[in-house]
Chain A
Amino acid sequence: MDKQLELLQGTLDMLILKAVSLGPLHGYGILLRIQQISKDRLEIQQGSLYPALYRLEHQGWIASEWGESENKRKAKYYRLTAAGRRRLQTEAERWNRMADVIAGILGTSPEEV
């Protein structure tokens, strides 16, 4: 397995929003989905997921309700709220712009300065 990348500061929230935007998930499910989408290239400290979830819920971007998991156990499911959807959009746009800028800077050759 390739060496996993450590998550950049502040990006976990965005990844969670993205993960739940595809459908309601419980906490462990969110972890699995992020890992699945990232093809296991990101290292996520499992315990750090929950404070982020509680924070996002507290801010009103995701909502939670108790449901039943695939193996018939009680689990808490998170889904994206309307505010969360808008938030994800702006975050994603910002991230892309930022990535462009950074890439542009890093791609600059000496002659161009």
Chain B
Amino acid sequence: MSTLASRLRSWFRRTLGRPQLESEMETEIRFHVDAYTEDLERQGVSRSEAVRRARIEFGAIENTKEECREATGATLLENFLQDLRYGARSMRRAPGFTAVAVIALALGIGANAAIFSVVNAVLIRPLAYKDSDRLVTILNNGDGPVAVANYIDWRDQSQSFETMAAADYWSANLTGVDTPERLLGLKVTQNLLPMLGVQPLLGRLFVEGEDRVGAEHEVILSYKLWQRRFSSDPKIVGKTVLLDGNSYAIVGVMPRGFRFSPFWATRAEMWAPNAFGDRVYSRGNNSLRIFARLKDGVSLEQARAEIAGVTARLEHQFPGTNREVVVTPLKEKVVGKIETPLLVLLGAVGFVLLIACANVAHMLLAQATARQKEIAVRTALGARRFRMVRQFLTENLLLASLGGGVGLLLAIWGTRALVALSPANIPRLESVAIDGRVASFLLAVTGLTSVAFGLVPALQASAVNLSDTLKEGGRGASDGIRRNRLRSFLVASEFTLALILLIGAGLMIRSFLALRAVDPGFNPHNVLSMVVSVAGSKEAEPGRRAIFYRELLEKVRALPGVESAGGINHLPLAGDMWGWPFVIEGRPKPRPGESPSAVYRIATPGYLQAMRIPLLQGRDIAGADDVNAPGVVLINEEAARTYWPKENPIGKHIAFTNEPNPPVWLTVIGVTKDAKEGDWAVKPYPEVYLAAFQNREYLESMAGHFEYITLIARTSGDLGMLASTIKDTVWAIDRNLPVSEVITMDQVVDMANEQPRFEMLLLGVFAGVALVMAAVGMYGVMSYSISRRTHEIGIRVSLGASRSGILVLVLRQGLLLALAGSAVGIVGALLLARLMSKLLFGVPPTDPLTFVGVAVLMLIIALIASYIPARRATRVDPIVALRYE
């Protein structure tokens, strides 16, 4: 009957009593051998012969000891602990070696754990909805929104889905509070939130019938919004808020971790029912994103096939409305764009770890040579090879665990830095944490690492040639070709890996420089922008809106320091980007889906000037272009090139129209230079600017997306000061207008390049670490090799070899290794570059400058790393060197 406590006690006694056992064993065996020696002497054997015979006849002492230990029930664990103690002792004896190895491993393991924790949070962990792998999105034109009538037909004509729901982007002004604010949210069909399977924290979800006109003024808040704007009021449910001047009842608050703000609406923080009203007949106004849950037992392929059938039928019936309808798993849609960069980064840190392993491996090899005598003696005394290998592996595990421990700290700090540095558009990053999966990954990596860097050195070290090693006084001949070849292989592979990484990083840097060199078509410096929303206020009244906008612009222009000011509906790069089809007067009616279309912007006079978008031809929109004047439009160069390739577009007429309404013709009055629109890396599409003060829809529509203006002001003064004076100017006219999204155009440009910068930065850091490690590895191998060749070099020098001859000899060895490694690396880099081509901009994946530049850099590093030890070699004094044994 042994309780856990007594078992532990006995285990401790045995383990802690171990040093005593060892010394007793030692005494006992020595007594035996001495006693036998004395007996032999008494029989007349000479002293030295007696000692020799006593030793031989006793047999292998280490073996005996080992068997004794086993006989007393020394378990695997105890052996392990003994090895650990022994390992800790040898590590304490070589603190420099230990520190360098631990740092290298910690960098490798830490970087891996940090990147893996991001990959885990973003790519691996399922979305936080019930059975989230059954959720899909359905989009039109590959990636685009869907018209209401199509959604209803898809929903009613398909069998594959348990639920099919839809969401519209929604922004609304919160008024009737101290600081008005423009809030972003989604208008959803009633079935959407229940489909996600998340219960509200307070209140309830929408119930059936609430997404009908008249019943739709209800809202559910996200946890954050509830905290931020309603100070976490526990009795919030049932109260009302003013959104765009309408009273909405708060019916629920979602729990803290809940987010439903997918891809195109990443900042949504409230949800309201979507009342379609007359839109149920509309196949033209595409605005919905469709979310659906697959029925049990229905595969993605079956659902895709069914949707393909339904939409083919509808397309036949209503041409141009159901093209390229795509069913995508929701998670793929959410993480799709970030998957490749993250996997490239994960590969990069894997390389860093491999390089660290190679470094530690050849440090261990060098150390093993130094320990050869110890090993030989232990082997001679009967230690079995298996036991020696186990000893080494335990030491390695200890080393790797130390590295892993420090690496974990690095990873915790590193993930924080990653999250802080990362672009805002990486989804789900807020949930990055060191969880169980990351911890297991860390453990597995640590274990594998210890085998990766330690197994070969351990096998090599334990395979000593006894007589040679002991004869040569520790400078074994086994430090021969085989081990040198292994070391050379290690350092060459470090160069291979580092070169691949550096080329990857080099391509990213080149790509980033190319991105930054792109002319955005406007001048972003010293420009401030902010959104002023009139929705729900008296300024939104049809007669009042134009007057307000004009008054506001006048007052802003009069502010000190302001050089020019204008307004636009959607800010380039940061704002929404709508495409709109149009017709050109006098041209034959285009076939469905092939009509000309352009990015549709509505600008006030002064916008081009404030943004410094050059006007290439014609005139700018003027103050006189109002509702009473004939309609005018500006087009960009790309539109002129695309739609009037051989004509002068000025004076031509176009119309944005939904048949059967008669066309409202607009005259092209000017051509502007192309300015960036939605995506920095994408060449601008055809674009038009309509005159804000003559666009009735923009001045009168009560639809949310028409009820705000993005104010642009160029100043010679301080942008921060200007932001507050403009806000005061707005509030001097109407205290109830929310001012939001205050941002400088420089920030907008930075944000547009955030992800490539992030990727470049990380790859650059990892490549830098890899380069340093490879250089240290090269230096280590060369110094070691020279220390082993001191004797040989001494002979060469004494035979008349010149110092430069020695230098060349050593440098050649280093260069050859680097060349061999780099040659393989270039092949690997070509493969990597192909993988990375999606991430690159304006630079071919086989960019010769990067490839040649990095290869040259690597060779220079190799030269420097071998030059330092080589110089030491040339200073070898032949007398000392020849005596050096």
- Of all chain B residues, which has the CB nearest A59? B71
- Any A CB within 8 A of the CB of B73: yes
Residue B70 lies at the interface, judged by CB distance under 8 Å to chain A = yes
Chain B nearest CB, measured from A69 CB (Å): 7
* Interface presence of B142 (CB below 8 A): no
Chain A residues 33 to 56 lying within 8 A of chain B, measured CB to CB, are: 45-48, 50-52, 54-55
Which residue in chain A gives the minimum CB-CB distance to B68?
Answer: A54
Interface residue count on the B side (C-beta < 8 Å): 24
Whole-angstrom distance from the CB of A50 to the nearest CB of chain B?
5
Dominant secondary structure at the A interface = helix
Per the bound structure, the CA–CA distance linking A54 and B64 in Å amounts to 11
Most chain A beta-carbon neighbours within 10 Å: one of B25, B36, B60, B64? B64
Instruction: Check B31–A74 contact: CB distance below 8 A.
Output: yes
A88 to chain B, nearest CB (A): 19
Let me know if B58 and A27 touch, CB within 8 A: no
- A residues within 8 A CB of B64? 47-48, 50-51
A51, A69, A76 interface centre (most CB from chain B within 10 Å): A51
B209 CB–A CB distance under 8 Å: no
How many residues does chain A have at the interface if contact means C-beta atoms less than 8 Å apart?
21
A50 neighbours in B (Cβ, 8 Å): 25, 28-29, 32, 64, 67-68
Q: Is the CB of B24 within 8 A of A47?
A: no
Give the distance in Å from the alpha carbon of A74 to the alpha carbon of B35 in the complex: 11
**Looking across the interface, which residue of chain A has its beta carbon closest to that of B27?**
A74
B26-45, CB < 8 A from A:
27-29, 31-32, 34-36, 38
User: B35 — nearest CB in chain A belongs to which residue?
Assistant: A28
- Say yes or no for A3: interface residue by CB 8 A criterion: no
Known interface pairs A28-B36, A54-B68; A48-B59 also in contact (CB < 8 Å): yes
**A18 at the binding interface (Cβ < 8 Å):** no
Which label, helix, strand, loop or mixed, suits the secondary structure of the B interface? helix
Contact B31 A73 (CB under 8 A): yes
Contact indicator A58/B72 (Cβ below 8 Å): yes
Contacting B at CB under 8 A, from A55-78, are: 55, 57-58, 69, 71, 73-76
Contact B61 A27 (CB under 8 A): no
- Number of A-B residue pairs at CB separation under 8 A: 63
Q: Return the chain A residue nearest B21 by Cβ.
A: A54
CA distance A27 to B30 in the complex (A): 11
A26 lies within 8 A of chain B by Cβ: yes
Interface centre among B32, B59, B63 (most CB of A within 10 A): B32
Judged by a CB distance under 8 angstroms, whether B57 is at the interface is yes
Chain A residues with CB under 8 A of B72: 54-55, 57-58
Question: Are A54 and B31 within 8 A (Cβ)?
Answer: no
Task: Determine the residue in chain A with the shortest Cβ distance to B69.
Answer: A54
Contact of B68 with A51 in the complex, beta carbons under 8 Å: yes
Closest to B29 in A: A50
| B24: A residues at CB distance < 8 A | 76
Query: In the complex, what distance in Å separates the CA atom of A28 from the CA atom of B58?
Result: 11
Pick from B38, B58, B70: contact of A51, CB below 8 A.
B70
A58 closest partner in B (C-beta):
B72
**Within 8 Å CB of A52, what residues of B?**
71
Q: Are A46 and B31 in contact (CB under 8 A)?
A: no
Interface residues of B in 675-703 (CB under 8 A from A): none
Assembly CA distance A28 to B72 (angstroms): 20
A residues whose Cβ falls under 8 Å from a Cβ of B: 26-28, 31, 45-48, 50-52, 54-55, 57-58, 69, 71, 73-76
Question: 6 other contacts beyond A47-B61, A76-B28, with CB at 8 A cut-off?
Answer: A28-B36, A45-B59, A47-B63, A50-B29, A54-B68, A69-B31
Q: List 29 A-B contacts (CB under 8 A).
A: A27-B28, A28-B31, A28-B35, A28-B36, A46-B58, A46-B59, A47-B59, A47-B61, A48-B59, A48-B67, A50-B25, A50-B29, A50-B64, A51-B64, A51-B67, A51-B71, A54-B68, A54-B71, A55-B71, A55-B72, A58-B72, A69-B35, A71-B35, A74-B31, A75-B28, A75-B31, A76-B24, A76-B28, A76-B31
Closest 10 CB pairs of A and B: A47-B59, A51-B67, A54-B71, A55-B71, A47-B64, A54-B68, A28-B35, A46-B58, A28-B32, A51-B71
